Structure 1
Amino acid sequence: MKRISITVFACFLFGSVAFAQVTIAPTNLFLDANSRFGSYMVVNGGNQTQEVSIDFFFAYSSTDNDGNRSAVVDDSLVQQQYSIADYIRAFPQNFTLSPGQRQMVRLRVTPPNDLNDGTYWARIKTKSSPEAPPLELQTSEVVSATVGITVEQVTGLFYKKGDVSTGIEIEGIRSSLNDDGSLAVMVDYNRTGNSPFLGSVTLSLFNPAGEEVRRSFISTSMYFDGVYRQDFDLTDLAPGTYRVSALFESQRPDLSSNDLIQMDPVTASETISIR
């Protein structure tokens, strides 16, 4: 019997994770110097026994000048400054889940005592794959093949030390037309304070009469300075002078306000011409 392995990566830094046969909750953990222990639940909702392993690594999201977002996993300088990955232990780190079974994974963070005030973070990688059949069943006489799908689900852990703060300064709002005729709105921002901004961004487009004709809302994480981008469909919008407004808030529907570092809402607007 041949066994073919396929690895599927799933990155969920907010919301609930429900992928393949294994589910995880919650998908973000927040710890601090007074609470260095956390936990999350891994549930096997499928009909196959799953082998599960836990690992930790450092990564963050970044944007280019056009607001295109990507994950950065190889920035050693930033990792040295902000990573908590080397100081996390999982109990258990490797285990097997029968169909319908669940396992509480407990985490312990033991950071060095000389950390500066601020927020540090890591990614939790929960890898699951169907349990391999015993060797005596894998005979060469069987010509069929089984496909073993390995799913790697990535969630977040944040560790807050001392006085923490975050903020957003909007440098400006730009816009341009995409090749498909849609409008790209780009908000240049600086992230202030000593911690990432975890919150939401609302962009609104108002017509010449002051009526809101387009709106976008997204929960997001901003680790450093960057560009936030949102594309708007201009179908049915008449030419004219429009106004774009941007609102950054430290509120997210998927996270408790007690876990989020609060800041005053930040807003800015800019007029644009649609032809």
Structure 2
Amino acid sequence: MVSPTRLIVGPEHLDQAQTFQVTNRGRLPVDIVVNKASFTMGQDGKMVLDEDAPYSAADWIEVSPADFHLAPGQGRPVIVRIDPPEQPDNGEHQVAVLFVAPPGSETGADNIKLNRAIGTPIYVTVPGPVDTSVRIGGLRSSAFAMSGPVEFGVTVDNPGTVHRDFFGSDGLNVEVNGEKVPFPDFTVLRGTSRDITVRWTDPPLMCICHAKVSLSGSAGVSSRSATLVIFPFHLAGLLLGMVIALYLLVRLGRRRYQAHLLGAAKSLRDSGEDGPRRDGEA
């Protein structure tokens, strides 16, 4: 286990040593090797190690110790020192510190060796102007749905110079039908885009719903909207079928009742013609 899971270092803390605490939570001893790597982020939010990644701070940091041994339950700090160049590009630069447990010399029955690794990002912002611009690249949803849940997707572009976090109360929401549906927590690195989805689990039975997503940054507010029609055709079809069935049953009942009345009237007429005559009748 490595704590914290990431570090955000502002200009005022560049000359201060940063610390990760590494703990062996397993039942066997483990050897740890500490590496550093440039990285970027995919549209799904996964860290992508790339030695040619832009805005890299991999050459700015030194870690100590670079390797060590941990007994079960043991922990130790790893110190990170940051030394940016004299005239770095404005904004934020990032580097991943990789804590790797290489495979041992012994192999299992299947002769499989595994590297266990934890990557922890460090975001380093240098002195100078900062641009927090962010924009919505698009809001996606179905134009029509018969029922919930309904899925909304959004693309968030970060043309600014620092990463943007959307966590908790500062997270991103889609406003629809008078309520806010929160997207999962996510981060967008500078110069990258993220695709995020959320499921609206309790939409109304029917509506013409107007959805909107808005974000604010240095360049102002960016927003996108979409319209969704929810109509339960399957329920309407079932109800219509029930109404038609009831109508047919009523109509059939009326026909049977009318036939019964006609039959009874005919029986009365027939019994009147064939019955005994009274005195005086010809």
Q: TM-score, normalised by structure 1?
A: 0.66
Question: In the alignment, residue 49 of structure 2 is paired with which amino acid?
Answer: V
Question: In the alignment, residue 25 of structure 1 is paired with which amino acid?
Answer: S
Q: Secondary structure at the match of 2:172?
A: strand
Count of matched residue positions in the alignment of Structure 1 and Structure 2:
223
Which shows bigger deviation, 120-129 or 99-108? 120-129
Q: CA deviation at 1:54?
A: 0.6
List alignment gaps of at least 5 residues for structure 1: 1-22, 250-261
Q: How does 1:117-266 map to 2 (within 5 A)?
A: 117-128=90-101, 149-163=114-128, 164-176=130-142, 183-200=150-167, 201-207=171-177, 210=178, 212=179, 214-233=181-200, 237-248=204-215, 266=221
Quote the Cα distance in structure 2 between the aligned partners of 1:154 and 1:237: 43
Quote the Cα distance in structure 1 between the aligned partners of 2:182 and 2:161: 30
Q: Which residue of 2 aligns with 1:53?
A: 33
Q: TM-score, normalised by structure 2?
A: 0.65
| Conserved? CA contact 2:149–2:203, under 8 Å | no
Distance 1:28 1:265, change over 3 A: farther
Quote the Cα distance in structure 1 between the aligned partners of 2:112 and 2:134: 47
- Which structure has the highest helix share of the two? 2
Quote the Cα distance in structure 2 between the aligned partners of 1:101 and 1:151: 17
List alignment gaps of at least 5 residues for structure 2: 231-282
Distance 1:45 1:189, change over 3 A: closer
Quote the Cα distance in structure 2 between the aligned partners of 1:87 and 1:247: 36
Question: In the alignment, residue 165 of structure 1 is paired with which amino acid?
Answer: D
Distance 1:238 1:166, change over 3 A: same
Larger radius of gyration: 2
Q: Which has the higher contact order (CA 8 A, sep 6+)?
A: 1
Question: In the alignment, residue 205 of structure 2 is paired with which amino acid?
Answer: A
Q: CA deviation at 1:93?
A: 0.7
- Which structure has the highest strand share of the two? 1
Question: In the alignment, residue 58 of structure 1 is paired with which amino acid?
Answer: S
Distance 1:177 1:123, change over 3 A: farther
Question: In the alignment, residue 84 of structure 1 is paired with which amino acid?
Answer: A
Q: How does 1:6-25 map to 2 (within 5 A)?
A: 23-25=1-3
Quote the Cα distance in structure 2 between the aligned partners of 1:167 and 1:73: 25
Q: Secondary structure at the match of 2:59?
A: helix
Distance 1:128 1:237, change over 3 A: farther
Q: CA deviation at 1:132?
A: 5.2
Q: CA deviation at 1:173?
A: 2.3
Q: CA deviation at 1:145?
A: 7.5
Distance 1:122 1:101, change over 3 A: same
| Conserved? CA contact 1:48–1:130, under 8 Å | no
Q: Which residue of 2 aligns with 1:105?
A: 78
Distance 1:103 1:265, change over 3 A: farther
Matched, 1:93 2:66: yes
Q: Secondary structure at the match of 2:26?
A: coil
Distance 1:265 1:239, change over 3 A: farther
When the two chains are superposed, the root-mean-square deviation of aligned CA atoms in Å is 3.6
